[in-house]
Amino acid sequence: MSPVWPALAPVDTPYGADRIAVSAHGHRVRFADGSERLCATSGLWNVPLGYGHAGVAEAVAAALRDASYLTLFRGVHRPSQEAAAALLDLACVDSYRRVIFSTSGGAATDAVMKLSRQYAVERGEPARSIVVGLRGSYHGTMYGSHALSGDALAQGSYALDRRAVRHVDADDPAELAALLRREGTRVAAVVVEPVLGSGAHPVSSVFVEALLDLRDEHGFLVVADEVATGFGRTGPLFASGEWSRSPDVLVLSKALTNGALGAAAILVGTRVAALFADRGTTFVHGETQAGTPAVAAAILEVVDAFERHDALAGAARVGTATRVLADALVRDGRAVEVRGRGAFLAVALTDPSTGARLAAERVPAAVAAIAAAGGIVHPGVDGIQLIPAYGYGDAEMVELDTAIRAGLARMAEGAS
């Protein structure tokens, strides 16, 4: 039995040698039994430049030699300043003014919930304590982020305080408008994933425009949670960069260090940063491992990949190829629907035994069958999610398609 308590799995889940990963290079993961599988998940969506990226590894190693640790508590260090400036330049320095470093997307969401509430207090509106999320969203499993996530994630087991959290449907801007008519003076922020993490449902431009108009009317903050969608995952560098008006806060993680180190960055917009600066107020939030020199070095390498090495073009190419693969599964009757954008797609599978949409309880069997055929895909609510790295070539795309089809055929044989 493994001594590790795995995330999101029963503690006594058995792991044979074919399920114990031992190394990863490029787009492939090797297991303890000697087998190797093609990864179509970019790790946990956080390794878009491929496993073992030499530039990131070398930059982190050099940073660890130069300064294995420096803190951001009551001070700054040069590597953090350089990484923050690079992120502001990448995202648009006219929209954002400061960077708060964090250690994960979930921890960053907790920080944002605190920041939005303190911003309201500093404006003289202490009643603004409600943070609104979307049904079907995923923001992490820290205390606040778990409460804000819009899926059923056993929240009732943890005594999470959800009194100051509300959820609305991303397909119905009228529901948000109605909520704000009732409680607009109490809403501190609305947090939006441009593509919902659970199910890969894109949030429509109609909803976003309504949200931005309602912000102007009611005065809350708009937070773009781009933990999953940032760095080209849905096509543009940042999905919220295509909105008609910028969010007040942008949250980044996952691809931020290409999976090398746990990190997140909160890019704070002009009006929020200006208010805290004008009032000389302290934001009481800090994380020991946030924004270390090694993290900063990894961030600078990732930014360089997008600024000078055209990683965004690779993201666009892979996104197009992944869509072709997914659409062909629908055309051939192996799937019923494709959702998402760019290289972030959910494929709702056909249940081979019924011909209907695959039920949630059957998803693990599909993922396992595809793994046995040599491909690693992410489980979705009604099928699989495809989130490949940006260096995928034509050969890898053919190999992935073959593994998916072989796995689904094996699953169909078992159902017959």
DSSP for 288-316 reads TTTT-HHHHHHHHHHHHHHHTS-HHHHHH
* Cβ-based neighbours of 165, under 8 Å, separated by 6 or more: 130, 131, 132, 133, 147, 148
DSSP annotation string for 219-232: --EEEEE-TTTTTT
CA 297/CA 294 separation, integer angstroms: 5
Spatial distance between the Cα atoms of 269 and 329, rounded to a whole number of angstroms: 42
How many residues are there in the chain? 416
Quick: pLDDT tens for 260-307. Answer: 999 999 999 999 999 999 999 999 999 999 999 999 999 999 999 999
pTM above 0.85, yes or no: yes
Candidates 234, 330, 341, 141; CA nearest to 152 is 141
pLDDT digits (tens, 9 = 90+) for 171-221: 999 999 999 999 999 999 999 999 998 889 999 999 999 999 999 999 999
End-to-end Cα separation, the chain, in angstroms: 33
Q: How confident is the model at residue 91 (pLDDT cuts 50, 70, 90)?
A: very high
Q: Where in the chain are the domains?
A: 54-307, 311-415
Task: Please check the confidence at residue 235 and state whether its pLDDT lies above 70.
Answer: yes
Out of 3.90.1150.10, 3.40.50.720, 3.40.630.10, 3.40.50.2300, which CATH number does the structure's domain 311-415 have? 3.90.1150.10
Q: CATH number for the 54-307 domain, one of 1.10.10.10, 3.40.50.880, 3.40.640.10, 3.90.180.10?
A: 3.40.640.10
